Amino acid sequence: MAQSFSSSEQGVIAVSVGSQSAGTELTVTDAQGETLLSWSPGLDYNVFIYSSPQLVSGASCTVSAGTVSGETQEN
């Protein structure tokens, strides 16, 4: 179950990234190409949830994990 807090001042994204092995680097970049997060999880994963004050409502960002990459918009 996902929950959103409309009065929150920081954004959140939830993305399915396919089946990724432990150690596969995951990156989030903003629309200007600046890296917001670069991380290599220690466990296998297929969903990524990220919340940060750097995520601005309505702005787009790119999430990349292994060979999967896509643009998403923060709500």
Give the number of domains in the chain: 1
The per-residue pLDDT for range 12-63, each reduced to its tens digit, is 888 999 999 999 999 999 989 999 999 999 999 999 998 888 888 778 899 9
How many C-beta atoms lie closer than 10 Å to residue 63's C-beta? 21
Establish if 19 belongs to a structural domain: yes
Establish if 24 belongs to a structural domain: yes
Note the pTM of the prediction, 2 decimals. 0.80
Establish if 4 belongs to a structural domain: no
Establish if 5 belongs to a structural domain: no
Task: For residue 75, give the DSSP letter.
Answer: -
Residues spanned by the domain of 29: 11-73
Burial of 3 (0-12, 13-18, 19+ CB in 10 A): exposed
* One-character DSSP codes across 33-70: S-EEEEE--SS-EEEEEEEETTPPTT-EEEEEETTEEE
